[in-house]
Amino acid sequence: MSEVKEPAGGQPDIHATAVRLRVSIGAFKRRAHEARTEGDLTGPQLTVLSRIDRLGPVTTAELARREQITPQAMGVTVASLEQRGLVARSADVSDGRRSILSLTPSGQEAVHSGRSAMSDKIAAALAESFTRDEIEILDAAAPLIERLSDLL
């Protein structure tokens, strides 16, 4: 594992860290996309399910804002989740023009089981090639990376 380089002032080189994160996360996303199997949830689908699980019932527009994509693009992802029976749409009681999205029991199971072919592949790679300490570091880094993505 590479160490964070510190310039003369003793502070981590934040720009170098940003570049390493961008490159490594980009490579991870590409390889995960390439290795995805038929029927597995896509990254955007998993993100939407996770967001609804954390936020509770939410509109498509709110999900789009949080992911910094257009409502139309989010609508495509939400429609695919509805087709799979993972998300349900209901009328907003305070504004009949809006729809509220919530997880179905199958959607909750998909989020909470953590099971997918890709998750299984990642778990196998971790088990085969990483030490216990490295796995703990990755586990601790995951919420930090998620928080960073929310800030971008």
Tens place of pLDDT per residue across the chain (152 aa): 445 455 555 677 899 999 999 999 999 888 877 776 666 788 788 889 999 998 899 999 999 998 889 999 999 999 999 999 999 999 888 877 788 999 999 999 888 876 567 778 889 999 999 999 999 999 999 999 988 988 88
Query: What kind and span of H or E run contains 103?
Result: strand 95-103
Question: What is residue 139's predicted lDDT score, i.e. its pLDDT?
Answer: 95
Bridge partner residues of 101 (DSSP): 58, 89
Place of tokens 């993100």: 47
- DSSP code string of 62-81: HHHHHHTS-HHHHHHHHHHH
Per CATH, the number for 40-151 is: 1.10.10.10
Question: What is residue 38's predicted lDDT score, i.e. its pLDDT?
Answer: 61
The answer to whether the CB of 106 falls within 8 A of the CB of 85 is yes
